[in-house]
Structure 1
Amino acid sequence: MIRKRILLASLLKPVSDTRLYEKIGQSLAKLPQVEVHVAGYNAPLPSYAQSDKITFHPVFDFKRISFGRLGAQLKYWRLLKKVKPALLVVGTHELLPLGWLYCRLHSCQLVYDVQENYFLNLLTQKVYPGVLGKILGHAVRSLEHAIAPSISHFFLAEEAYRLELPFIGHRYTVLQNKYLPPTQETSVPRSLPVILQEEKPLRLLYSGTISRLYGVMEAITFTQNLRQWVPSAELTIIGYAADAAFLEEVKARVAPLCFVTLLGGNTLVPHNEILAQEKLHHIGLLPYRPHPSTFTCVPTKLFEYIGNGLVVIMESNPLWQKILQDHEAGVVLPFARAITPKKIEALLEKPYYQNGIPEQVFWMEEESTLQGVVIKLLSL
């Protein structure tokens, strides 16, 4: 049987990316009629990588702001000519133009996996100085608008993108970044319901991108304040910081604090190591600062924290708060305000997950939906 090839490509995400490889790639590899290839930034493959079912192409390797980023386009084109996909799933807007050209010249369908609202991010996050961010934001939106009519389908990582992206029409499927447990899962399930006052030491976790916007400094301050009533409280920070200067601020802040452990920082941390830490901790922190680029998005780690039975403490957000309330998974505690003894007592004594870990936070349903869409696109 001749299998149709699918290429999943991202310019900036590692070839072992949580979404493109672990979720979309592994889900599609279960279809016997296809052959899956994943292209991304050069990074070590995890020991559990399914290299027998998926072909990896770690072809991109450059500094974030450099001419190497332009050279990556040539590598991308060569890869397209080599793999000859029947379906191309692009996870970065920069790969859209050559992806569009390849699909015009060959029998290949183009799918845009929208992982972020790049337009909104560039306009509001101030990653680039002055008006440069606004110029880049409008350039990206113009590019997306121009190529959209030629895109066969859109995968949306967030429900909110249905309204935020005016160019997608009705050719979309929402595939939220829900929790996919590791295939080598061996740990004993967490005892339920969860009652925090029984845990000593009480371990708090901040995972993922280490940045000012996502509130890592607030996580440190919160843990310091919590230790006034819970002296055994400990904080682990695990993830990657793209801003080297800010990372030095974080290191200086935690250096004298014996109860804070920093893992990663200047290096990418394999996702399975982050998941392993989630199983060792009791509280997952979401101290995101209110910001238009994140307010309507559900963080991947919210699904992961709930899937692993952590008690979530987060900033006020109606969308996230509903998820917590529906599953008795945590509390809202504004990180900028002082913690009162009454709130601490309620936090520690309340039973969480009385109805168990909810199935709604897991990737299984998304997998079935994804496979159905691809089967239809490729006429399998």
Structure 2
Amino acid sequence: MAQQRVYVIQFTTVHTRNDTRIRLKEVTTLADRLDARVSLFVQDGLGDEEVGEGLFDIRDTGARPGGRLKRMTLGAWRMYRAVRAARPQVAHFHDPELIPVGLALKLSGIKLVYDVHEDLPRQIMGKPYIKPFMRRLVSTAAALAERAADRCFDGILPATPAIAEHFKSRHVALVQNFPILGELMAAAEEPLTNRPANFAFVGGITEIRGISEMIDAIAQVDHPEARLDLVGTFSPQKLRDAMTASPGWERVIEHGWADRPTVAALLGQVRAGLVLYLPSPNHIAAQPNKLFEYMSAGLPVIASDFPLWRKIVEGAGCGLLVNPEDPQAIAQAMDWMLRNPAEAEAMGQRGRAAVQSTYNWSKEAETLVAFYCDELGVPLKQIH
């Protein structure tokens, strides 16, 4: 009698089914490399989906409940029931609010993996929707929840070295969120000197990620044709309303959300990528995914001058560092990029070389697969 294949479920109630780390990197890698059935459980109301002619499937557990509290209670309960009913051998989740769900699933004999995208205790200290006097208490509660996860779960996969420092068990594997090689390389890249005077920001558009400062900066750039390409959605929507009233908005090109091929094409037509997150405890110690994605696309970067970011940018020689709270300094960096296209292009090429040699997903994929094989006992596919 043939042995039943291992069943692996990754699940999230917060992220979309197209999340880059979850779907494009981790789920695809595991489905491709392991001798296991792999599913991604989401909560978006878009229905079930089969990917890659049976490579893996996406299960929709229903539309996400409106509001944070309902998502964390009703949404979590619905996800718990769906995963438990599916009876996987391994369940791998991506949202800290699902730690209680993970603990409950662990009681059913399922091996649990917690994928830690953010430094949660530090992130909470900068959350605007949490009253300042409550942040320390909530941050401490989050740290205690992560300590329980560290003790009880079969695997912890932090996305950065700073996050990894919070976890002490032997079941920790650092899986960094570096770009997939070639993914953001445009089919037809124009030399920087032939491109319009445009700068790109890709990702969720929020106040803490410096949107106000970027719009103020683009208004101050000397070049009359300078433009800011925004690729992503505003959160909250009222932030967009405030930004459209800004004098710099007339220089903004708003694209909304875009898929990866569209992002790659756009990055092949701009002069530099912007990663100008404002200083917060979570940002200062974070490795911003967008920084590496711009480098992968061969773009020079204009980035916040945080110690870790400085080490990456100066180490690769791939861009300029500025005070993210100073629109004039940001504008001066943009002007420099436009006035020095040859050196800007060289910066972009050095950044791409650094991604090709060091900051790429292929190395992280090996860590992920080895963890599943060695720690969780999931076999590799046999190559005949």
Compute the TM-score of the two structures, normalised by the length of structure 1: 0.86
Amino acid aligned to 2:362: M
Matches within 5 A, 1:1-380: 2-42=4-44, 49-50=51-52, 52-59=54-61, 60-106=63-109, 108-163=110-165, 165=166, 167-180=167-180, 187-188=186-187, 190=189, 196=192, 198-226=193-221, 228=222, 230-253=223-246, 257=250, 259-264=251-256, 269-335=258-324, 336=326, 337-338=328-329, 343=336, 347-350=340-343, 351-353=346-348, 357-358=353-354, 359=356, 360-379=358-377, 380=379
- 2-side partners of 1:57 and 1:373: how far apart? 24
* Change over 3 Å in CA distance of 1:253–1:272 after alignment to 2: farther
Aligned-residue CA RMSD in angstroms? Answer: 2.9
Report if aligned partners of 2:158, 2:174 keep a CA contact under 8 Å in 1. Answer: yes
Residue 15 of structure 1 aligns to which amino acid in structure 2? Answer: R
1:340 CA drift (Å): 5.3
For residues 67 and 326 of structure 1, the distance between their equivalents in structure 2, rounded to whole angstroms, comes to 45
Runs of 4+ in 1 over 6 A off after TM superposition: none
Q: 1:51 offset after TM fit, Å?
A: 6.1
One-letter amino acid of the counterpart of residue 300, structure 1: N
Residue 110 of structure 1 and its aligned partner are, at CA, apart by 1.0
Q: Which amino acid is 2:70 matched to?
A: F
Superposition deviation, residue 143 in structure 1: 1.9
Partners of 2:293 and 2:95 in 1: how far apart? 24
Say which SS state the counterpart of residue 9 (structure 2) adopts.
strand
For each residue in 1:106-156, what CA deviation from the matched residue of structure 2 results, as whole angstroms up to 9, or x when unmatched?
2x2111111111111112333323434333322222222233211112101
Give me the whole-angstrom Cα distance separating, in 2, the residues matched to 1:156 and 1:315.
Answer: 23
1:20 shift after superposition: 1.2
The 1:235/1:354 distance shift into structure 2, 3 A limit, reads: closer
Query: Gaps (5+ residues) in structure 1?
Result: none
Q: Report the identity percentage.
A: 19
Q: Give 1:200 shift.
A: 4.0
Amino acid corresponding to residue 213 of structure 1 in structure 2 = I
Whole-angstrom distance in 1 between the partners of 2:44 and 2:53 = 15
2:382 is matched with none
Contact 1:190 1:308 survives alignment (8 Å): no
After alignment, is 231-240 or 340-349 more displaced? 340-349
SS in 1 for 2:67: coil
CA distance in 1, matches of 2:19, 2:237: 22
SS in 1 for 2:107: helix
Q: Deviations over 1:312-349 (max 9, x none)?
A: 01121222222223333211233514455994676434
- CA drift at 1:73: 2.3
Letter in 2 for 1:210: I
**Structure number with higher helix proportion:** 2
* Alpha-carbon contact 1:254-1:260 (below 8 Å) kept: no
In structure 2, how many angstroms separate the alpha carbons of the residues matched to 1:119 and 1:289?
A: 18
Where 1:331 maps in the other structure, the secondary structure is strand
Unaligned runs of 5+ in 2: 380-384
8 A contact 2:199–2:229 mirrored in 1: yes
Conserved in 2, the CA contact under 8 Å of 1:154 and 1:168?
no
Residue 368 of structure 1 and its aligned partner are, at CA, apart by 1.1
Amino acid at match of 2:275: L
What secondary structure, in the 3-state scheme, does the structure 1 residue paired with 2:113 have?
strand
Q: How many pairs align? A: 366
Q: Residues of 2 paired with 1:138 and 1:276: CA distance? A: 43
Tell me which moved more, 68-77 or 270-279.
Answer: 270-279
Distance, in Å, in 2 between the alignment partners of 1:63 and 1:275 is 32
Query: What SS does structure 1 have at the residue aligned with 2:268?
Result: helix
Once the two structures are overlaid, the 10-residue window that deviates more, 302-311 or 35-44, is: 35-44
Contact 2:302 2:320 in 1 (8 A): yes
User: What TM-score, normalized by structure 2, do the two folds share?
Assistant: 0.85
User: Is contact 1:306–1:361 with CA below 8 Å preserved after alignment?
Assistant: no
Helix, strand or coil: the match of 1:30? Answer: helix
Distance in 2 (CA, whole Å) between partners of 1:144 and 1:32 is: 28
The question of whether the paired residues in 2 share the 8 Å contact of 1:309 and 1:353 is answered with yes
The answer as to whether partners of 2:181 and 2:362 remain within 8 angstroms in 1 is no
Instruction: Give the direction of change, closer, same or farther, for the CA distance of 1:76–1:247 in structure 2 (3 Å limit).
Output: same
Taking the aligned partners of 2:224 and 2:303, their CA distance within structure 1 comes to: 21
Is the contact between residue 199 and residue 270 of structure 2 (CA under 8 Å) also seen in structure 1? yes
